[in-house]
């Protein structure tokens, strides 16, 4: 492997200063406006400044996650938001200039039509006239986040929050699960008015922004903000119809099997997370064994990914496990100047750590494979495309799961497949709900709760909350953060899962051939829009009729074996 990155400990990107950043962009604006050729030299000047800023912001955000108690890192994190806001605006001004009819052909020759389509979406979604509304939107979403983060939930003599209440809510004891679930929904019920008001303001604001931009409704703007350049709401509606026809009946059968295996009269909402009465499969060596297990697994899977995994670990670009001050969750970030990703997982020694590790390495391997793509905008695909690499690798890594779980690997594989299938109806319910909401922005809070209940009847017909406060009254959606914070970002997971399941089904027949197609897909990055990426890997687009037939039939067969 040539051009290895420096060890992570030696990476100390320079902090960007607004005046310098502005001066660099002003130089670019002047060059373009004065008629300088749209060529590699111009592109490389632009990339130099934006990559330098991106590298520092990614590094600062990562270092904050690694120790949220460090005051210096907290300050850097805040500063990274400010500088990102500045460069988003400055980059949009460059894109706008390059899309001008006098320059667009030269720009297309330089960066490809795919990039221009992304830029057009970015420019159509922004106008200085909505700047104030965007700031207000950010204030409202922060208010929602802060409200949820402030939750204090009394439970069994302790005070828990919305994260820590999650553990007893999915634990092995049914009574504890129900009580934890009740404690959580009681908190939501007590804050119903504030949550309704916050969301009502967000909907009105978003609807207003769409009209200010001359768009018919917020759904149109939401799609532009998500850079969906090769499909629209009609395609998504067709996909949801396929899910209703093909996946909802299967998920209902799987829930019935789950009810029987748990030995309960009625599967209640607090039972759904327990997909195996025998508990989760045990991770060999616990949290400490995860990194070594990953090496053994990738060694057995693919030479290129194994070498990449070794390099990442040796050079310090992986942070696994939990420690005081380290924030939860898992993600993969990208240090553009060093052309290297970083994989972050705050694991707790359970089977979920394996899924997170493999998932994030899927993202990391994609961006590593795309590291020599010249234009920042096309190094990563848009979200639905990017999740194919991560969710796809989770399935492609199946044969190596024995390295983590030994004799329990098959139980892990089964749980993974069942969860993947059952997630799809929930994911499209979240998406469909948002279409209903923005179609009728004037709806009252009670009408919105009724819309969600209609979604539950359509996509999750088994769902039973009993007399649980709030949730039994149509309020479940208020805990789905994407609905408040990242509108229309959800269908992406279900589209990617549909593609990942196709990779899984193919790999059962031809694992080496499917791995080769996967590696090839990873090199494309975001140079093509979603459906072209699917086609290039031989995947049926989720928007094609019958797209789910093959994978659902294969899953039914595998589960019945």
Binding site for Zn ion (CB under 5 A): 390
Which residues 6+ apart lie within 8 Å of 397 measured at CB? Answer: 297, 298, 301, 358
Distance CA 234, CA 240 (A): 10
CB 297 within 8 Å of CB 403: yes
Report the nearest approach of Zn ion to the CB of residue 378 (Å).
18
Distance of alpha carbon 119 from the chain centroid: 21
In the bound state with Zn ion, the residue whose beta carbon lies nearer, of 390 and 540, is 390
Beta bridge pairs of residue 334: 341
Strand-strand pairing, 340-345 and 318-319: parallel
Distance CA 148, CA 437 (A): 22
Tokens of 149: 């983060």
CB 520 within 8 Å of CB 480: no
Q: What are phi and psi of 154, to 5 degrees?
A: -70, 130
CB pairs under 8 A, 24+ apart, for 60-64?
60/15, 61/333, 62/333, 62/342, 62/344, 64/327
Backbone region of residue 388 per phi and psi (left: phi > 0; alpha: psi in -120 to 50; beta: other values)? alpha
Distance CA 403, CA 255 (A): 29
Report the nearest approach of Zn ion to the CB of residue 347 (Å).
16
In the bound state with Zn ion, the residue whose beta carbon lies nearer, of 155 and 423, is 423
Report the nearest approach of Zn ion to the CB of residue 382 (Å).
13
In the bound state with Zn ion, the residue whose beta carbon lies nearer, of 384 and 403, is 384
Strand-strand pairing, 330-335 and 340-345: antiparallel
Report the nearest approach of Zn ion to the CB of residue 493 (Å).
8
In the bound state with Zn ion, the residue whose beta carbon lies nearer, of 388 and 455, is 388
In the bound state with Zn ion, the residue whose beta carbon lies nearer, of 155 and 331, is 331
In the numeric block, the tokens 């310098």 are attached to: 20
In the bound state with Zn ion, the residue whose beta carbon lies nearer, of 144 and 361, is 361
In the bound state with Zn ion, the residue whose beta carbon lies nearer, of 356 and 514, is 356
Report the nearest approach of Zn ion to the CB of residue 7 (Å).
26
Report the nearest approach of Zn ion to the CB of residue 314 (Å).
24
Tokens of 355: 């899924």
HEC string of 146-186 equals: HHHHCCCEEECCEEECCCCCHHHHCCCCHHHHHHHHHHHHH
Report the nearest approach of Zn ion to the CB of residue 381 (Å).
11
Residue nearest to Zn ion (CB): 390
Report the nearest approach of Zn ion to the CB of residue 420 (Å).
13
In the bound state with Zn ion, the residue whose beta carbon lies nearer, of 65 and 390, is 390
In the bound state with Zn ion, the residue whose beta carbon lies nearer, of 62 and 437, is 62
Report the nearest approach of Zn ion to the CB of residue 306 (Å).
21
In the bound state with Zn ion, the residue whose beta carbon lies nearer, of 225 and 333, is 333
In the bound state with Zn ion, the residue whose beta carbon lies nearer, of 188 and 380, is 380
Crossing angle between the packed helical segments 383-396 and 409-439, to the nearest 10 degrees: 160
Distance CA 72, CA 57 (A): 14
Report the nearest approach of Zn ion to the CB of residue 354 (Å).
15
Distance CA 167, CA 503 (A): 32
Report the nearest approach of Zn ion to the CB of residue 383 (Å).
8
Report the nearest approach of Zn ion to the CB of residue 390 (Å).
4
In the bound state with Zn ion, the residue whose beta carbon lies nearer, of 205 and 391, is 391
Tokens of 518: 């996967």
The number of CA neighbours under 13 Å toward the Cβ of 330 is 22
CB 492 within 8 Å of CB 383: yes
CB 317 within 8 Å of CB 340: yes
In the bound state with Zn ion, the residue whose beta carbon lies nearer, of 369 and 390, is 390
Report the nearest approach of Zn ion to the CB of residue 359 (Å).
6
Which residues 6+ apart lie within 8 Å of 192 measured at CB? Answer: 470, 475, 478
Closest Cα to residue 95, out of 37, 43, 18, 36?
43
């Amino acid at each position: 492997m040539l051009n290895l990155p420096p060890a992570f400990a030696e990476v100390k990107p320079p902090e960007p200063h607004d005046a310098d950043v502005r001066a660099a962009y002003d130089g670019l604006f002047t060059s373009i406006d004065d008629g300088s050729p749209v060529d590699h030299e111009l592109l490389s000047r632009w990339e130099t400044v934006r990559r330098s800023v991106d590298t520092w912001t990614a590094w600062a955000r990562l270092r904050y996650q690694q120790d949220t108690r460090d005051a210096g890192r907290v300050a850097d994190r805040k500063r990274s938001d400010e500088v990102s806001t500045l460069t988003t605006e400055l980059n949009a001004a460059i894109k706008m200039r390059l899309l001008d009819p006098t320059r667009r052909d030269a720009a297309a020759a330089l960066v490809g039509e795919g990039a221009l389509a992304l830029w057009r979406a970015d420019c159509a979604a922004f106008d200085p006239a909505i700047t104030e509304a965007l700031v207000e939107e950010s204030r409202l979403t922060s208010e929602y986040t802060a409200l949820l983060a402030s939750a204090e939930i009394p439970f069994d003599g302790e005070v828990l929050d919305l994260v820590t209440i999650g553990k007893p809510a999915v634990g092995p004891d049914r009574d504890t699960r129900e009580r934890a679930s009740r404690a959580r929904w009681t908190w939501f019920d007590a804050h119903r008015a504030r949550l309704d008001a916050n969301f009502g303001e967000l909907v009105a604001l978003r609807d207003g922004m769409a009209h200010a931009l001359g768009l018919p409704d917020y759904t149109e703007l939401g799609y532009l903000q998500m850079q969906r350049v090769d499909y629209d709401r009609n395609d998504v509606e067709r996909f949801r119809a396929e899910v209703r026809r093909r996946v909802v009946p299967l998920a209902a059968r799987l829930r019935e099997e789950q009810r029987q295996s748990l030995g309960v009269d009625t599967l209640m909402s607090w039972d759904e997370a327990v997909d195996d009465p025998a508990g989760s499969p045990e991770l060999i060596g616990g949290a400490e064994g995860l990194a070594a297990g990953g090496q053994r697994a990738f060694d057995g899977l693919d030479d290129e990914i194994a070498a990449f995994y070794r390099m990442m670990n040796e050079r310090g670009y992986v942070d696994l496990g939990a420690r005081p001050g380290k924030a939860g969750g898992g993600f993969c970030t990208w240090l553009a100047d060093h052309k290297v990703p970083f994989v972050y997982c705050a694991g707790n020694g359970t089977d979920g750590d394996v899924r997170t590790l493999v998932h994030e390495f899927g993202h990391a391997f994609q961006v590593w494979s795309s590291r020599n793509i010249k234009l920042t905008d096309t190094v990563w695909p848009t979200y639905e495309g990017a999740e194919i690499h991560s969710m796809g690798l989770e399935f492609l890594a199946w044969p190596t799961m024995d390295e983590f779980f030994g004799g329990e690997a098959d139980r892990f594989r089964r749980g993974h497949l069942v969860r993947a299938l059952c997630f799809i109806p929930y994911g499209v319910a979240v998406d469909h709900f948002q279409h209903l909401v923005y179609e009728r922005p004037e709806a009252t809070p009670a009408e919105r709760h009724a819309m969600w209940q209609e979604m539950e009847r359509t996509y999750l017909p088994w769902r039973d909350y009993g007399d649980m406060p709030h949730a039994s009254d149509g309020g479940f959606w208020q805990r789905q953060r994407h609905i408040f914070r990242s509108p229309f970002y959800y269908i992406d997971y279900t589209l990617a899962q549909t593609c990942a399941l196709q990779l899984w089904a193919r790999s059962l027949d031809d694992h080496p051939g499917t791995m080769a197609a996967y590696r090839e897909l990873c090199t494309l990055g975001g140079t093509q829009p979603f459906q072209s990426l699917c086609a290039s890997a031989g995947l049926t687009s989720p928007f094609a009729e019958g797209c789910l037939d093959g994978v659902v039939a294969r899953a039914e067969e595998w589960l019945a074996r």
